[in-house]
C-alpha cells in the first residue's frame, strides 16, 4: 500500500490546523500510520528556520525569505515526508509549496512561477496527492486571528490587500490543478468541513 501526502492550505485563521488534526485522528482511528508535519517548522532544523523567517526583526530581502522557506521545505521533504510516504504512511501537513507561491508571490516583488520553480527544486518535485484549500475572505480571517492572538508574525502583520492577493493566488492555483485541490469554504461548520475532507480522502484510500 503506497503512502499518501496530504497538505492543508489557506489564509491565516482559516482553520487548517484544526482540520488537519481531525483528519489525522480519523485516519489513525482507522488503523493508518499518520505522520504530522508543518511548514515552516516540521523538523528540528525547520523549527530554527521558522523562528528566523517569522520572528526575526528587521528587513528581510524577499528572495532571502523565499529561500528560507525553500530550505525548510527541502529538509522536511528529504528527511521526514518522503521517507514516511515510501514506508506507506500518511503524511498530513499544514502548508506546502502553494503557500510559497501564494504568499511570496503576493508581495508582487517575486514572480510566482519562479517561486514555484525554486520550491520544486527544493522538494525534488515531490507533490501532494491531495491539497485541501480552506478558502476564507481575508477580513474574516483577520477577525478570527484578532480574537486568538496577542502577537502577530511577520506575514500576519501584512496589510489586508496583501491577504486579498494571497487568497486570489490560492484560488488561481486550485483552478489550474483541480485534480489535486479540494476547495472548501472555511466558513462552513467544522463538522461539515471535516466530513467533506473525509469523503475525498476515502476515495484516495480505495
**End-to-end CA gap in the chain:** 10
Outline where the chain has alpha helix (H). 16-29, 44-55, 62-76, 82-86, 97-99, 105-106, 112-122, 138-148, 160-176, 190-205
Q: Does 170 bind ligand TYD (CB under 6 A)?
A: no
Q: Rounded to the nearest whole angstrom, what is the least distance from the CB of residue 187 to ligand TYD in the complex?
A: 18
Q: Does 5 bind ligand TYD (CB under 6 A)?
A: no
Q: Does 7 bind ligand TYD (CB under 6 A)?
A: no
Q: What are phi and psi of 205, to 5 degrees?
A: -85, -10
User: Binding ligand TYD by CB under 6 A: which of 153, 161, 175, 177?
Assistant: 153
Q: Does 69 bind ligand TYD (CB under 6 A)?
A: yes
Q: Are 69 and 39 in contact (CB under 8 A)?
A: yes
- Beta carbon nearer to ligand TYD, 38 or 80: 38
Q: Rounded to the nearest whole angstrom, what is the least distance from the CB of residue 94 to ligand TYD in the complex?
A: 6
The gap from C-alpha 31 to its chain's centroid, in whole angstroms, comes to: 25
Q: Does 93 bind ligand TYD (CB under 6 A)?
A: no
Positions touching ligand TYD (CB under 6 A) are: 12, 38-40, 54, 69, 94-95, 99-100, 103-104, 153, 155-156
Amino acid at each position: 500500500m503506497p503512502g499518501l501526502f496530504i497538505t492543508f492550505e489557506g489564509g491565516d485563521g482559516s482553520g487548517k490546523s484544526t482540520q488537519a488534526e481531525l483528519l489525522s485522528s480519523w485516519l489513525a482511528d482507522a488503523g493508518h500510520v499518520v505522520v504530522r508535519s508543518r511548514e515552516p517548522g516540521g523538523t528540528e532544523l525547520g523549527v530554527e528556520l521558522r523562528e528566523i523567517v517569522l520572528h526575526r526583526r528587521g528587513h528581510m530581502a524577499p528572495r532571502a525569505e523565499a529561500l528560507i522557506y525553500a530550505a525548510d521545505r527541502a529538509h522536511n521533504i528529504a528527511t521526514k515526508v518522503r521517507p514516511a510516504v515510501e514506508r506507506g504512511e500518511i503524511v498530513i501537513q499544514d502548508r506546502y509549496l502553494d503557500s510559497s507561491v501564494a504568499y511570496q508571490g503576493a508581495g508582487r516583488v517575486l514572480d510566482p512561477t519562479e517561486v514555484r520553480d525554486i520550491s520544486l527544486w527544493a522538494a525534488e518535485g515531490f507533490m501532494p496527492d491531495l491539497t485541501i484549500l480552506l478558502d476564507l475572505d481575508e477580513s474574516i480571517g483577520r477577525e478570527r486571528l484578532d480574537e486568538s492572538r496577542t502577537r502577530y508574525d511577520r506575514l500576519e502583520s501584512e496589510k489586508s490587500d496583501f491577504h486579498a492577493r494571497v487568497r486570489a493566488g490560492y484560488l488561481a492555483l486550485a483552478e489550474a490543478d483541480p485534480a489535486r485541490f479540494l476547495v472548501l469554504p472555511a466558513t462552513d461548520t467544522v463538522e461539515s468541513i471535516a466530513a467533506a475532507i473525509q469523503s475525498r480522502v476515502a476515495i484516495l484510500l480505495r
